[in-house]
Amino acid sequence: MESINKIAVLYGGSSAEREVSIESGKRVYNAIIDLGYCCEKFDINNIDGLHNLTNFDFIFIALHGEEGESGNLQKQLESIGLPFTGSNSESCSYSWDKSISKDLIRKNGIKTPDSIQINNSLNFNRSYDDIPFDHFFIKPSMDGSSINIFEIKNENEYRKTLEQLRDLNGPFILEEAIKHKEFTVTIIGDSVLPPLEIKTQNSFYDYEAKYLSDDTDLVEAKYGNEWLANIKDFAKNSYQALGCTGWARVDILEDKDGEFYFLELNSSPGMTSHSCVPKSGEFMGLSYNEVVKKIIDASVS
């Protein structure tokens, strides 16, 4: 494509991840200005009104949640011929719906925790004795930032969670817990960045651990060259199975036997001060601005 001069950053929105998106958008905007582009940022509350962006050369999507990751925004941008960061609308829709992404991952021979689909949380009343897992999570099929995730280890916790689900109308999945180690791997273009191991004092990597706690450690995962090659291949295979391009972040679990499991893929990952993508870039000597430049370049190549 022709050279890029003017970039619009889309951020904010109205999802539960709005505050995270605002910080991501502001940091990305500042980086793009520092890189020498003309740039404006737009707090998007209606993805149907994007024709005013046609005077821009490129769109950097820093919208999280449904508005930025479900594929609807990407479909709108495709319809008006505007290039943007990340995967196309179809791949975004696959990765956004955890039930669909897990099915595609399984069909490609990649492991993912066993799960049960909950089509409507209001009507879900399966008895605890009918759950095939002793330890599991219930989480939205379509959401991010570990919002409304419930960890369940016994029947009492399960009953309390069912009561809370009554106020959360929507599809959920009940997913087997794989509790040993958790990693996240950033992919930008053809490059797989250094995997991060997530170490948190919380029971799991929840919203508080991701964005608020100073006790969460994102450390470079160093378990030998063979292990590193294997987890990078696992992440790349997951990324390709969902048809992704440009950039994404793959979250991966490892059990006590050293087996990897696909957890989810984020098609518009966070770019905040606590986020994994810039942190992973740091471990290969990249500044925040350089990571942003790589994302732009990978999305237009």
CATH number at residue 148: 3.30.1490.20
Do 202 and 237 have their domain in common?
yes
CATH assignment of the domain containing 275 = 3.30.470.20
Give Dmax (Cα) for the chain: 60
Do 146 and 45 have their domain in common?
no
Coil, strand, or helix at residue 214? Answer: coil
- What values do phi and psi take at 53, rounded to 5? -95, 0
Number of compact structural domains in the chain: 3
Q: Which domain holds residue 51?
A: 6-85
CA 139 to chain centre: 14
Q: pLDDT digit string (tens) for 213-257?
A: 456 788 999 999 999 999 999 999 999 999 999 999 999 999 999
Do 79 and 143 have their domain in common?
no
Do 251 and 107 have their domain in common?
yes
| 33 CB-near residues (< 8 Å, 6+ apart) | 39
Do 206 and 239 have their domain in common?
yes
For 218, counting Cβ atoms within 10 Å of its Cβ (0-12 exposed, 13-18 middle, 19+ buried), the class is buried
Name the β-bridge partners of 183: 197, 252
Do 68 and 12 have their domain in common?
yes
Do 141 and 157 have their domain in common?
yes
Do 290 and 153 have their domain in common?
no
The model's pTM is 0.90
Catalytic residues: 17, 145, 211, 249, 251, 264, 266, 270
Q: pLDDT digit string (tens) for 92-139?
A: 999 999 999 999 999 999 999 999 998 888 788 889 999 999 999 999
Do 98 and 189 have their domain in common?
yes
Looking at residue 120, its pLDDT comes to 82
CA 100 to chain centre: 15
- Is 1 within a domain? no
Do 171 and 183 have their domain in common?
no
Is 212's pLDDT higher than 60?
no
